[in-house]
Amino acid sequence: MGRVKLYDKTFRTFIPYEKIEKAIDGVAEKVNADFRDCTDIPILLCVLNGSIMFTAELMKRLDFNCEIVSIKLSSYSGTQSTGDVRQVMGLTADITGRRIIIVEDIVDSGNTIMELRRILAAKGAASSSICTMLLKPDACRKDLHPEYVAMEIPNDFIVGFGLDYNELGRNLKDIYILDQEE
């Protein structure tokens, strides 16, 4: 089992890349089943920076036409969610009247997704659905039911495959969990 050190913390392998790939295959099948015969062109909304890797992997597996748009929100400081969601970068395109597939790396408290859905509605999106690589059901404090979930995980702090600890660790292809033995 591999370990990595980021700043003052050590993390150990939690989900190997092969398992991540299989989970993305599975969630892509579900998205394809719902959008395959669509006549409109849905938007994949990449929530920066964390979902870059997941969005890229998901897009490769989709068999319908779609566009990609980005937005950057922030609610974390170190290993803790602040509960305060800030819009760091606005939407990179007009979404009026469009169906949006929100592509998130992780849904935990639900605060970011709720704020994002509010923003999308205010900007005139026709609808929005949530596609998340990871869901922490024990952490979610909102009445939130993502339509597409690749994997459910416990409420632990993780890094890798786009997820970071103070901006480090995003480039790791496996997902790592905080090593409590340290």
For the chain, give percent helix, strand, coil, nearest 5. Answer: 25, 40, 40
Active site residue 108: yes
DSSP 5: E
The CA distance from 45 to 48, in Å, is: 9
Choosing from 8, 63, 108, 164, which is the catalytic residue?
A: 108
Q: What gap in Å lies between CA 124 and CA 110, rounded to an integer? A: 21
- CB of 110 within 8 A of CB of 142? yes
The residue with tokens 């949006």 is 100
CA distances from 79 to 8, 66, 138, 141, 163 (A): 12, 34, 17, 18, 11
**Short-list 128, 135, 45, CA closest to 89:** 45
**Active-site residue set:** 108
